[in-house]
Structure 1
């Protein structure tokens, strides 16, 4: 179903891939679907990685949810470190692409995911974050992406 990576010499080990997904600040969610003249849609989002799934959050309605409703197969790209190598006409980088199916998270899962966002992005404000989640959870949708396939790639030098 998924093609083998062409540049296998640049393939990352599963631990390195997981590290990039765990520590990345944002990723680009790519969606298909039937909106905006049937163009593909990629949008940068904050996310939380949990071993076999990714979580994103959004409003209760909008472009992302409409497209997921029409076609829930998505890809998600995270770029780790990147450094331009001008003398080599290249870039030193690490990146991960995860492929999966997106679903709306259930009530308890949604709250747990929102708290995980607080842990990742606002750990020094945990108490305020818990209050924020309590107020925002009814107007915030959480989407779970069940990872079916993941690849990591890098150019080290």
Structure 2
């Protein structure tokens, strides 16, 4: 169903890919948008146990697209160092494929928001809880259930591992 990576030597392990997702703070969600045009939007995210969580307003292009077609893709770039003298970049990235849905259960929504807030503001528990209380009724949570994950890095980074 999903393509195998062509350059197998550059493929990241599941553990390395997961580490990229845990470390990252933003990525690009791609959906099938209006008039069947691709719509790719940069977002903050939370990755946990094979699922990616996004928060958004209760209306908008992204939400409409996910509701109309659950198939999505999400990309996180961990490293992108341009090396001009070698005409290349030393990159590391992860791409996910899966199906997205709107989280309806209020308890699960609150838990997701608490984990989001903890990731992005780890030292201010009181502030996090206050912000969640203020925004929870106007916030939608989209969950992407990951079906396929690939990670890849520049061949130069692969070679560095074996030195």
Give me the whole-angstrom Cα distance separating, in 2, the residues matched to 1:51 and 1:12.
18
SS in structure 2 at match of 1:138: helix
TM-score, with length taken from structure 2: 0.92
Aligned CA-pair RMSD: 1.0
Give me the whole-angstrom Cα distance separating, in 2, the residues matched to 1:109 and 1:27.
22
User: Deviation at 1:38?
Assistant: 2.7
User: Deviation at 1:16?
Assistant: 0.6
User: Deviation at 1:75?
Assistant: 0.3
Tell me, which stretches of 5 or more residues in structure 1 are unaligned?
none
The match for 1:131 is 130
TM-score, with length taken from structure 1: 0.95
Does residue 97 in structure 1 map to residue 95 in structure 2? yes
The match for 2:84 is 86
Alignment coverage as a number of residue pairs: 155
Give me the whole-angstrom Cα distance separating, in 2, the residues matched to 1:131 and 1:32.
35
State which of 72, 75, 94 in structure 1 corresponds to 2:73: 75
List 4+ stretches of structure 1 deviating above 6 A. Answer: none
Kindly provide the CA deviation profile for residues 119-152 of structure 1, in whole angstroms up to 9, marking residues without a partner as x.
Answer: 1101111211111101100100000100000000
The match for 2:161 is none
Tell me, which stretches of 5 or more residues in structure 2 are unaligned?
157-163
